[in-house]
Amino acid sequence: MESNRVNPSLGIYVHIPFCERKCFYCDFYSIENHSRRDEFTASLIKEIGLFSDRHPQFQADTIFFGGGTPSLLKPREVERILKALHEAFDITGQVEFTMECNPGTVDTAYLSEYRQLGVNRISFGVQSFFDDELKFLQRIHTSKEAVEAFEKARKGGFEDINIDLMYALPGQLAERHITNLGRAILLHPTHLSVYALIVESGTPLFKAVEKREITPADDETEAAMYEATMNFLVGSGYNHYEVSNYSLQGRECRHNLKYWNSEDYIGFGPSAHSHLQNNRWWNVSSLREYLGLLDDGTMPVASTEALTREQMLDEFLFLQLRQGKLDLDRLRAEFSFDPDQEFISHAIDSGHFERAEGVLRLTNKGFTVCDEIAKEMLR
């Protein structure tokens, strides 16, 4: 039996590739040259139209503008893109519409206009409330500007606001990270995404580490800070619903849950990924190629794959565990897969799992090694 039950309402992701300045740790596709931005908007709208011409009108209930820095878009640009999406999809009901924002690019008037256009969730890439850490991360905003951006969003009518934070920076003390978390929750965000700094291959950070100019935090320090994060945020009333994500009750990011539950989503823009009925494809990661293909009337797809049962099983296990659970009934029904009971018993005895009505739930200790648990189950 196939694992992905077709979701009648899919998610829409739009990748905006422009940044004021690319952060040295980031491996997402983005560029600092904005000279072809008008062409990009026109091509993005063309891509949405081409998809619509070749597919039935799907229902959609989440929209996510990511990047890059989507908050660089003028409201009229957002309006044009949104108009094309409404023509291509049946977007009705309680739609979650998220826009990622860099606190250094926030314009009060823009925020108010975004809200009027239907954006109802803002995600701020704050990363730290310490200016020296922001300087190290090469962010373009200050701690003060981050707080001011959050307050502007509240005044602009936004109730759902996420804050991104980073930890395990080189030389960062655990006390500093806890202070960062404390400063974040003083703003009363509905959601926090808290990530360890990862040294991604090909980034300037990776090259600096290779040259031994920067020494990353060791695994033990990172694990201790992660456990402190879980304890602090859960103790502050946030639900830990995914490895790096915490929300107030009912304020989970519905769009990201589609990724984590292997539901359907369609991505537009350079480097955007899509998943539809157990097929996956992704766009070219080059604005020049993206514009050229669409100018020729060709979808800007770099590659496609049909997911095998083994791939779906692998992803189901990894994604379930990243959400802190494992539904054993679904695992048996959809994949005819029964984990080794001796391994399960050992994981419970060692304090990694708790059993609850057909579902295994990860403890904090289990969250720290959830990927390793998935790998063991698949052996």
> At which of 230, 260, 290 does a domain end?
260
Q: Are strands 90-101 and 59-67 parallel, antiparallel or unpaired?
A: parallel
Provide the strand spans (E) within 257-329. Answer: 265-268, 273-276, 279-283, 301-306, 325-327
**Across the 379 residues of the chain, what is the mean pLDDT of every consecutive 10-residue run?**
54 97 91 95 98 94 96 96 97 94 92 96 98 96 97 96 98 96 98 96 93 94 96 98 97 97 96 96 98 98 96 94 92 89 91 87 93 88
Q: Per-residue DSSP letters for 35-67?
A: TTHHHHHHHHHHHHHHHHHHS---EEEEEEEEE
Question: Is residue 80 a part of any domain in this protein?
Answer: yes
- Give me the CATH number covering residue 235: 3.20.20.70
Exposed e or buried b for every residue in 264-295, given b needs 16+ CB within 10 A?
A: bbbbbbbbbebbbebeebbbbbbbeebbebbe
pTM of the model: 0.94
One domain, residues 241 and 331: no
Q: What pLDDT sits at residue 252?
A: 98
Residue 72 lies in a domain: yes
pLDDT score, position 93: 85
Domain match, 214 and 313 both: no
Q: With contact defined as beta carbons under 8 Å apart, do 130 and 176 qualify? A: yes
User: How far out from the chain centre does Cα 311 lie?
Assistant: 21
Same domain? 84 vs 18: yes
Are 26 and 77 in contact by the 8 Å Cβ rule? The answer is no
Burial status of residue 54 (CB atoms within 10 A of its CB: 0-12, 13-18, 19 or more): exposed
Asked if 287 and 15 count as a contact pair (C-beta separation under 8 A), the reply is no
How confident is the model at residue 2, as a pLDDT?
Answer: 40
Compute the distance between CA of residue 106 and CA of residue 91 in angstroms, rounded to an integer: 27
- For residues 73 and 172, membership in a common domain is answered with yes
- Number of independent structural domains in the chain: 2
Q: For residue 362, give Cα distances in angstroms to 50, 62, 353.
A: 43, 28, 5
CA 170 – CA 178 distance, rounded (Å): 16
Please give the helix or strand (H or E) that residue 164 lies within, else none. strand 160-167
Domain boundary among 245, 260, 275: 260
Q: Report the C-alpha dihedral over residues 331, 336, 337, 342, rounded to 10 degrees.
A: 100
Q: Which of 242, 260, 278 is the last residue of a domain?
A: 260
The verdict on residue 243 lying in a domain is yes
Residue span of the structural domain in which 335 resides: 309-377
CB 40 within 8 A of CB 291: yes
Give domain status of residue 265, yes or no.
Answer: no
In a shared domain, residues 233 and 342: no
